Amino acid sequence: MKKAAIIMGSDSDWSVMKKAASTLKELGIPFEVHVYSAHRTPDIAASFAENARENGFGVLIAGAGMSAALAGALAAKTTLPVIGVPLDADLSGMDSLLTTVMMPPGIPVASVGINGAGNAALLAAQILAVDDEDLNEKLVQRKRAMHDAVLEKDARMQEEVKGL
């Protein structure tokens, strides 16, 4: 199985990005976590992205507050899918969201919602599951469990409504 990378611009982003790590771990996806800044360590971030495919990665998840440039900087240096996690660092995260999604032509970055690191990990899993039936089955089971949980909540609600 290909690995996923979680790249953060600062260790202060970990409080959000650890949800991606826990989701990947839960799904059995190997991953690495790094702190590389688009502005403070641009050469290291670029080198990581340039060599990611050769180093066994299949997808990169990037989250950085403030300028939120990390996902785009990585995407400029790789053909692997890059998933940006806009972080709520300022302006309720809208500035990070817009920076993440408004990429120039030819440098696509997939994006999830503000602070949506868990969804970023699930999107990464879906990308990796294209060629991995075992991982796909884990995702199917996860969706089935969510489905069943909603139906259980509905049944409890129906009972409560009857008791009014």
d(CA 114, CA 105): 23
Cα(63)–Cα(100) distance, integer angstroms: 9
- How far apart CA 47 and CA 94 sit, in angstroms, is 29
Classify residue 16 as exposed, middle or buried by CB count within 10 Å of its CB (0-12, 13-18, 19+). Answer: buried
Global pTM reads 0.94
Residues in the chain: 164
Q: Is 7 left (phi over 0), alpha (psi -120 to 50) or beta?
A: beta
The pLDDT tens digits for 65-111 are: 878 999 999 999 999 999 999 999 777 889 899 999 999 999 999 99
Could you tell me if 63 and 52 are in contact, meaning their C-beta atoms sit under 8 angstroms apart?
no
Where does 3-131 sit in CATH, by number? Answer: 3.40.50.1970
125-159 pLDDT, tens digit per residue, is: 999 999 999 999 999 999 999 999 999 999 999 99
Distance CA(145)–CA(94), nearest Å, equals 32
